[in-house]
Every structure is written in structure tokens, then in C-alpha cells.
Structure 1
Amino acid sequence: LADMATVTDSTLSGNTATNGGGIFNFGTLTLISSTLSDNSAGSGGGIFNSGTSGT
């Protein structure tokens, strides 16, 4: 995403990727009441974010 992403009341688990096993984002990222676990990647196993982070 090049703009904004909001993840609410979510579980991201057991994912695999080159970058950002759970989330790969290039904009503003906000996580609310969410869990990231057991994700793997070369860079950013849970989150690869090349933007800004919200709350």
C-alpha cells in the first residue's frame, strides 16, 4: 500500500515471505487490538513497514 493501512481485531499467524511475513506496507500503518505471531521473513518477520507507524 502506498497510502494507509489499518488492521483491527485480527490475527496474522504462520505466514512466510521474503519481506514482511505478516504485513508488508509502504504507507502509514495502524494496528488496533491485533496479534502477529509465528511469521517469518528475511526482513520483517512480523511487519516490514517503510512508511510511518500510527498507534
Structure 2
Amino acid sequence: MYAIDAVIAEMALRRRRPVVRLTCDVDGMSKLCGEQVRLVVVQLVLAAGARIGDL
């Protein structure tokens, strides 16, 4: 986990319910948010030869 994960989790926990958070790290976010925030898995799929910087 990174410090930014803790900041994002803290912001989600302050929001009025219901809260949905998109993440590719459900395990890490669930440790930070518990059951108070609904986590939805998002996977990033890149085309062959593509780089993150190309997005």
C-alpha cells in the first residue's frame, strides 16, 4: 500500500453513504475501508506494445 491509498480511503470514508470506490487493489483498500465502502474491481488492459504513458 502507498500513502495515496490511505488518503483516498480516508476521503471515501468521509463521504455520505453509499460510497462506491473503483480500484484494482481490492485487498489493500478493503483493509483501509472495511465494509463501509463498496469496492469495485477495475482491471487495466493494454493493447500489445502499449504503455501506461500512452493513455
* TM-score clears 0.5: no
Select the structure of larger CA radius of gyration: 2
Using the size of structure 2 for normalisation, the TM-score is 0.30
More strand, by proportion? 1
Report which structure shows greater RCO (CA 8 Å, sep ≥6): 1
Which structure shows the bigger proportion of residues in helix conformation? Answer: 2
